[in-house]
Chain A
Amino acid sequence: AQTVTQSQPEMSVQEAETVTLSCTYDTSESDYYLFWYKQPPSRQMILVIRQEAYKQQNATENRFSVNFQKAAKSFSLKISDSQLGDAAMYFCALHSGAGSYQLTFGKGTKLSVIP
């Protein structure tokens, strides 16, 4: 069985500052993918960033970057220059195994951005 743990139920950040959201995971697979999804109040699940386990380089998408520590099974999300529109629930997710794109999600971190 695979698990995803987000230990921070809530976080806050000042506008324009940087915040890091934590995620740890467990899987017995060697080939897997990790994701961060954003869920604003509209409920839409928006893919923020993805990381292939076989890639050593950390993924980056504009203001969003990850710190992928494979040995420690850690996958944190860093948001730089935080904006009011970044306020949302953030979910870490894991996909492993071939043949389907079934995801295992963490419980989420609610991010507030303070003007």
Chain B
Amino acid sequence: NAGVMQNPRHLVRRRGQEARLRCSPMKGHSHVYWYRQLPEEGLKFMVYLQKENIIDESGMPKERFSAEFPKEGPSILRIQQVVRGDSAAYFCASSMRNTEAFFGQGTRLTVV
């Protein structure tokens, strides 16, 4: 039973480009959470999704960031027109309803 899979592990983008981060939840998990970890900081909640629905996006920046979790395929966190301040580790976690969430290994985004 594979764990939460995130890819890529490392992503380098130039300022102004788009970044797409992928998260495949654990088998049987229909809830996905995205977190961002800035250097020397803890993880900060961004968005909570269920299949085809955004449940809570209170932690998402208002512009340039979007997330989806389609009926088929992985969850995607998309950052348009990246800036240096977007450089961070982005973590995905998945769970079944009201159960413990399991984390992926994260994607480290570097904007140059």
Please count how many residues in chain A sit with their CB below 8 Å of the partner chain's CB atoms: 21
B33 engages A102 (CB within 8 Å):
yes
Selected from A45, A93, A100, the residue in CB contact (under 8 A) with B91 is A45
B43 engages A101 (CB within 8 Å):
no
Which residues from chain B contact A102 at a C-beta distance below 8 Å? 33, 45, 48, 56
A43 engages B98 (CB within 8 Å):
no
Instruction: Tell me whether A91 is interfacial, beta carbon within 8 Å.
Output: yes
Most buried by A among B33, B89, B99, B101: B101
Given A43-B105, A43-B106, A44-B105, A101:B42 Cβ within 8 A: no
Which residues from chain A contact B48 at a C-beta distance below 8 Å? 100, 102
Number of contact residues on B: which range applies? 20 to 34
B100 engages A98 (CB within 8 Å):
no
Determine the distance from Cα of A108 to Cα of B41 in the docked complex, in whole angstroms: 7
Instruction: Tell me whether A78 is interfacial, beta carbon within 8 Å.
Output: no
The list of the 3 closest CB pairs from A to B, nearest first, reads: A105-B42, A45-B103, A101-B101
Residues of B within 8 A of A (CB): 31, 33, 35, 40-45, 48, 55-56, 89, 91, 93, 95, 98-101, 103, 105-106, 108
Residues of A within 8 A of B (CB): 4, 6, 42-45, 47, 50, 91, 93, 98-108
Chain A to chain B contacts (Cβ below 8 Å), 20 pairs: A42-B105, A43-B106, A44-B103, A44-B106, A45-B103, A93-B42, A98-B98, A100-B48, A100-B55, A101-B31, A101-B98, A102-B33, A103-B93, A103-B101, A104-B45, A105-B35, A105-B42, A105-B44, A107-B41, A108-B42
